[in-house]
Amino acid sequence: MGRARLARLHGIATSYEPAPGRTVHIAEETAVAVLAALGVDASTPQAVRTALAAHEQTAGRALLPPTVTARTGRPPRLPDLPDGTVLSVRTEDGTLIGAEVRDGTPHGGTQHPAALAGLPLGVHDLRADAPDGRTARAHLVVAPDAVPAPSGRTHGFLVQLYSLLSRRSWGMGDLGDLADLAAWSGRALGTGFVQLNPLHAAVPGPPTDPSPYRPSSRRFPDPVHLRIEQIPEYAQLAGDARARADELAARAGELRADVLDRGALIDRDAVWALKREALELLGAVPLSPGRRAAYCDFLADQGSALDDHATWCALAERHGPDWRGWPAGLRDPRSPQTARIRHRLLDRIDFHCRLAWFTDQQLAAAQRAAREAGMAVGLVHDLAVGVHPSGADTWAQQDAFAAGMSVGAPPDAFNSRGQDWGLPPWRPDALAAAGYAPYRALLRGLLRHAGALRIDHVMGLFRLWWVPQGRPPTEGAYVRYDGEAMLSVLALEAHRAGAAVIGEDLGTVEPGVREALAERGVLGTSVLWFERSYAATATAADGSPPDGDDPAPASTPEPAAAPARILAPGEWRAGCLATVTTHDLPPTAARLTGADVALRERLGLLAGPPEQERSRAAHELREWLGALTRHGLLPKGVRDEEAVVRAVHGFLLRTPARMVGIWLPDAVGDRRPQNLPGTWDEYPNWRLPIAGPDGRPHTLEELAASPRLHALMRELSSFAG
């Protein structure tokens, strides 16, 4: 009992429900391991008693928690404080505001009695001095009630950037292609946004993990996305450097031709090898005075976070990408040994800083192109749920991550084994102690050049399933985060950036989470195939598949039970991004032709006998064809693939959804999913170019001229009008 109480005091749930009405208690060994990751020894009964006593003593003496939150126009959420306690707030701009607690409420100070209710937005310093001599300091986050909302209803494309190749790409889609897509679709098609895969920096290979959901750093983008020729210094190359750059461009043309014309997969490592050599040439070109000044401004703005990231990159070149295997002194970013090698590697560190600057500039150019094309939102960036355990973020912020833990999903009605995504979680206590500084900096970086941000597995703002290293996912536990604080920081940073927020809330969602997100203006994600009126069965809360925007391969089957009634368009929630499919699901043409079932049968991934799965898929398709016909979106008896694709997207526009997303491969009839959960080497996840129905890759130029794409977008324009 003592160990369970200790776990609950530290935000660890001692049980969970894999299905409604069924409760599973976590193992004591799990509680001990998770507590240890939070710095609490619970290995013996005596250790538990000592930890409980220490917690009670600390709680009894503490005047303030490490972080306090408040909403605009309201006083902070303060614990009970003794009368006579003097409160003082030093705001971000240095203004001092004071108050005294009387009758349990802050009074007086420099303003009206509710002195702390009119604080400006920001992260301020709060101090409390009690009459008994106790004193405390806390971070005070004052946030708006809600994140900014999109300007009116809008529709746009969803795309995995690497898959979008033009005739100028170096073997994979890049930021030049992104700017061109945004400029073309905004001007010619009237789209309002382009939603991307995470562009986070990857752990370098070879082989590099192609999944964008297992990055080295979420704070900085990957320079593999650069359009080399659009870096200004490229025009200054001369002599041997120019000749070498031309050779690299020619080899890049061969990589591009391999993918577009010869059926090869996207080879990220081969692309990066060419770009890295080209960037080495550009790094030797002196910056002009204006460019030098802009670069220095960037370095000052990014500060120590960029220096740490670039240092990790430089050290990884020497010692490999897993910092846990580096020489002992270098495993600590603040050690004397690391300080000395920073000095010796100054040129390499500067090189990697410059790559971050180049990438930031091209991201800014892409967002600028989107807005100049009339897009109401522009770029929608994607925040992965976590980072690779051996990457730059975990090296630079070791205190913020729970050592020996991995994020995943518990067993449920779809997957009795649970899931382990191999991503270390943030420690909630460390975040609170730091005033959520790592989280704030992460959001600020992602929102620099974004009109909106998609948050993968947004339920993780409230709780995450922690799996102790070496144990199966079935032996994990939920660890709770301060949802109000996480949402307040999100609202503050989104407000400062003027950006909307979309939460990926598919899967198992605990009660109250969707309501809390909606109350703060965070849009949800609604996928056509899962929007049904499900009864209270052993399915996810919305009938969608279990947690599965998977950073690591994991099973993401669809509901096996007989599907419930399809929701009419008017029954959908307005606060969402509505889509037909996602990168983890079959393209629409694959569903319509049965190619998705055939693919999973070939790879041995079917949940039941093949004939049963084909029958279930055919029944679901008949249901949808009937629904589309009843709603006047599909003429009776019409089964033409392109007409059905247009109809399902027209269905989305009949809903009140604030944003409607069109999976770009759907617009040209691609049948191949970009990621097939449950596979690793069996399927080329994250390595496929956008292609037509026959599997032939389509360039950006071909997409822009595609009759099929234009027919779909004309239909959407008529529905939208």
pLDDT digits (tens, 9 = 90+) for 518-529: 999 999 999 999
Is pLDDT at 554 greater than 80 in this prediction? no
> Stretch 1-19: mean pLDDT, rounded?
93
Grade residue 381 by pLDDT with cuts at 50, 70 and 90.
very high
Q: Does residue 537 register a pLDDT over 50?
A: no
Give residue 462's pLDDT: 98
Closest CA to 456 of 392, 367, 551, 546: 551
Written in H, E and C, the secondary structure of 625-656 is HHHHHHCCCCCCCCCCHHHHHHHHHHHHHHCC
Two tokens, residue 53: 């006593």
Q: What pLDDT, on the 0 to 100 scale, is given for residue 694?
A: 96
- pLDDT tens per residue across span 27-48: 999 999 999 999 999 999 999 9
**Nearest to 482, CA basis, from 68, 135, 58:** 68
CB distance 679 to 553 below 8 Å: yes
pLDDT 10s digits, 251-272: 999 999 999 999 999 999 999 9
Task: Give percent above pLDDT 90 in the chain.
Answer: 86
Looking at the predicted structure, is the pLDDT value of residue 719 above 90? no
Specify the pairing of strand 200-201 against strand 135-143: unpaired
Q: Which of 66, 27, 394, 396 is nearest to 407 (CA)?
A: 394
Is residue 559 over pLDDT 60? no
Which of 77-81, 105-109, 357-361, 588-592 shows the lowest mean pLDDT across its residues? 105-109
Question: Is the pLDDT at 540 greater than 60, yes or no?
Answer: no
167-223, pLDDT tens digit by residue? 999 999 999 999 999 999 999 999 999 999 999 999 998 899 999 999 999 999 999
pLDDT tens string 218-252: 999 999 999 999 999 999 999 999 999 999 999 99
> Looking at residue 108, what is its pLDDT?
57
Does residue 551 surpass a pLDDT of 60?
no
Question: Where residue 103 falls among pLDDT bands split at 50, 70, 90?
Answer: low
Q: Quote the pLDDT of residue 20.
A: 81
Cα–Cα dist 599/162, whole Å: 23
Residue 546: per-residue pLDDT: 42
Q: Amino acid identity, residue 594? A: G
Q: Give the β-pairing of 135-143 and 67-71.
A: parallel
Average pLDDT, the chain: 93
Q: What is the pTM of this model?
A: 0.94
